[in-house]
Structure 1
Amino acid sequence: MSSKLIPLSVSAALMGGTALADAPSVAVDIAPVHSLVARVMQGVGTPNLIVQPGASPHEYSLRPSEAAALQDADLVFWMGDDLTPWMADAVETLASGAAVTSLLEADGTTLLDFRESALFEAHDHGAHDDDHDDHAEDEKHDDHDHAEADGHDDHEHEEHAEADGHDHDDHDDHDHEEHADHHGHDHGEHDPHAWLSLENAGTWMNVIAAQLSAADPDNAGAYYANATAAREEFAALAEEIKATLDPVRGGSFIVFHDAYQYFESNFDFPASGAISLSDASDPSPARIAEIQGRIREEGIDCVLAEPQFNPGLIETVLEGTDASTGVIDPLGAELEVGPALYPQLLRNMAKTLADCL
């Protein structure tokens, strides 16, 4: 096969013909990552999506067809169990013969710490890339600002622990026991929503191309050509998003759950707080009160809902305020699954922010 990037029209025709016959069987966890893999495979084959659009990846029950896709997979690409802890056993048991790539563990991935508090303050920070020191020295993210948690007293931490039901590394033994009893699992040290960094996505294109090429060397040229073209497209998209956000820089916004700090860091556009933690666990009354207080006291411009979660909480925090609202979607629930989903997802996020502010 030619190493040149194949146009979408030609790619679609090939997907209905013999090109798919020799392609490896690939399973991917969420739609944005599926889009990245589909972009690298464009003109060669189509990956299978496990978590269907519109569903939260934090909790999900596999359908028989999705279990079969894992069982038949030659390769599996997923964020890792920090995002989808329920999927770890399925990957291990159903895809035991597949080459499995956790993108959160891939070399060159920039990782940010899981944030605990409801309210964020901007600070200078480095990329928390504990397992990838060489990358951390090379990447230019290190001087970006991102929101870090405000300190809270012990009483507030206990309330958070009771509400979110997940282990946090800096909690005491009693908190850990409460969390383990409640849900039987914990979140990881790092925020798993790393696909919302265009720079991470660019890094992963080569990781994906390398894994596909190892399994399918006959099409290695196509995989690497697609990855290179995608990285160029991402560079142009980054400039487009900056242009969308520049007119509203300085605007303040609250998000439904703390899923956006990679986007915030990538584009130097920090949120003021999050109603729910990064793992989307239910917020405590104390956390909601903190958010309401910030909206009223600081005149927050915008509170963003998400299609996957309860809109009633947004109505609660907006009560008695003049803040605008919008719906932001980190997963592309309403977008067509495929190579075009990922860039459109980020484009839509930027537009939602700009329109709300």
Structure 2
Amino acid sequence: MPVFKPIICSRFFLRICCIVSLGIVFSFTANIDAQAALVASIRPLGFIAAAIADGVIPVEVMLPDGASPHDYALRPTNALQLKKADLLLWVGAKMETFLTGPASSLPAERCITLADLPSVTTLLPKIGEELYDSHVYDKKCRGGHIHHHGDYNMHLWLSPIIARRIAEAINHRLAELMPEKKTKLDNNLYLFKKHLTINDKNIAKILAPFRAKRYVVFHDAYGYFEKYYGLTPSGYFTANPEIQPGAQALHKIRTQLVEQKVTCIFAEPQFRPAVINAVVRGTSVHIGTLDPMGIGIALNKESYARFLSQLTNQYVSCLEKNI
């Protein structure tokens, strides 16, 4: 008997350990499944969401760094994000086409479509109400793609004014879903607007000396930011970044670079076409980079202000070269 007691005790102990371990595993798995989040389609929207949801609910971003919302394809990991999401924040079908189906299947209270918000759409210029009259490329690319992605300019996150409306919409919806967190949410919204106002004045001061500088962007995406801060672009290479301009358009661009005394041409981290190098060859035009997606900026309550400041510095770093 004494020989078998340790074995019996060991087996009993092992069974207890297994039961406890399984309980821990199931509990951990349940916590993962229950760990809902506010899911933003693209990183700049995540910046705004992170400020309002700070200390309330985690924020995740669907689009990986370096990808473009214009041609992204939904991945299995994204489907899992949507499944556990308490709330989806996206611009709309005219921008993130990869989300059109999944977003339509979500309950209305679990989805904020910015393009459909009355507080936002009233601030959007329609086609025919151009932000600028001078463009170096046609308003329609080959294939009939309209540079405003539909009836409106959809690069909403580049407008400090619209960013405030987005923040208010997030605050309102989260307060509906989590009324016990309303005080925290309202305080987050207050701080977001306060920091944005301070940052806004600083950016306006930094960009003021460069308002008369002429430049060209590769992708027609920056109109809201440029209009708000009084910058004067000469135009853009292409309306649709997946469709590069043809030989005739490139010749026109090169001619205007010289005639309009353009200081810079801006590429993007996602799009650095060889045509930019070719078109500036033999001129005094500098090449810079603008990042409209905020690659590498971590999500926190100060992300959006940091994003706008980074974009400002990217403009200045090239425009100041001919001063």
TM-score by length of 1: 0.73
Higher mean Cα deviation, 97-106 or 228-237?
97-106
Give the C-alpha shift of residue 263 in structure 1.
0.3
Kept in 2: contact 1:253–1:302 (CA 8 A): yes
CA RMSD of aligned residues (A): 2.7
Aligned pair partner of 1:320 in 270, 282, 305: 282
For 1:36-185, list aligned pairs within 5 A: 36-93=48-105, 95-96=106-107, 99-109=110-120, 110-113=123-126, 146-149=131-134, 161=141, 163=142, 165-168=143-146
Amino acid at match of 1:76: L
For 1:1-357, list aligned pairs within 5 A: 25-93=37-105, 95-96=106-107, 99-109=110-120, 110-113=123-126, 146-149=131-134, 161=141, 163=142, 165-168=143-146, 187-277=149-239, 280-357=242-319
Give the C-alpha shift of residue 71 in structure 1.
1.8
Higher mean Cα deviation, 69-78 or 209-218?
69-78
Give the C-alpha shift of residue 149 in structure 1.
4.9
Distance 1:307 1:151, change over 3 A: closer
The 2-side partners of 1:264 and 1:343 are apart by 16
Give the C-alpha shift of residue 97 in structure 1.
7.1
The 2-side partners of 1:237 and 1:244 are apart by 11
Match of 2:23 in 1: none
Give the C-alpha shift of residue 289 in structure 1.
2.2
Kept in 1: contact 2:268–2:291 (CA 8 A): yes
Amino acid at match of 1:84: E
Give the C-alpha shift of residue 103 in structure 1.
1.4
Kept in 2: contact 1:302–1:325 (CA 8 A): yes
The 2-side partners of 1:296 and 1:39 are apart by 44
Kept in 1: contact 2:38–2:86 (CA 8 A): yes
SS at match of 1:332: coil
Give the C-alpha shift of residue 335 in structure 1.
2.0
Give the C-alpha shift of residue 63 in structure 1.
2.2
Kept in 2: contact 1:83–1:279 (CA 8 A): no
The 2-side partners of 1:338 and 1:278 are apart by 31
> How many equivalent residue pairs?
287
The 2-side partners of 1:347 and 1:59 are apart by 27
Match of 2:6 in 1: none
The 1-side partners of 2:264 and 2:40 are apart by 33
Distance 1:98 1:276, change over 3 A: same
Q: Deviations over 1:251-282 (max 9, x none)?
A: 11100100000001111112110011056533
Unaligned runs of 5+ in 1: 1-19, 116-124, 129-145, 170-185
The 2-side partners of 1:91 and 1:253 are apart by 37
Give the C-alpha shift of residue 114 in structure 1.
5.1
Kept in 2: contact 1:206–1:224 (CA 8 A): no
Kept in 1: contact 2:87–2:111 (CA 8 A): yes
Distance 1:271 1:237, change over 3 A: same
What is the percent sequence identity of the aligned residues? 25
The 1-side partners of 2:51 and 2:136 are apart by 42
The 2-side partners of 1:194 and 1:221 are apart by 27
TM-score by length of 2: 0.81
The 1-side partners of 2:125 and 2:252 are apart by 23
The 1-side partners of 2:150 and 2:100 are apart by 13
The 2-side partners of 1:192 and 1:106 are apart by 13
SS at match of 1:27: strand
Give the C-alpha shift of residue 302 in structure 1.
0.7
Distance 1:337 1:151, change over 3 A: closer
Amino acid at match of 1:102: T
